[in-house]
Structure 1
Amino acid sequence: MIQPATFQLADAPGALAVSGALTFATAAAVLAAGRTALERNAPPTLDLAGVTQADSAGLASVLALLAHARQKGTDMKVANAPRGLEALARVSGVSTLL
Structure 2
Amino acid sequence: MAQPKPGRAGEIATQSARIPARETILLGTFGEAENPGALLRLANGSVARLSVGDPLEGGRITAISSDGVLVQKAGYTRRITQPRLRSTGARTGG
- Structure with the higher strand share, 1 or 2: 2
- Structure with the higher helix share, 1 or 2: 1
TM-score, normalised with respect to structure 2: 0.27
Which structure has the bigger radius of gyration?
2
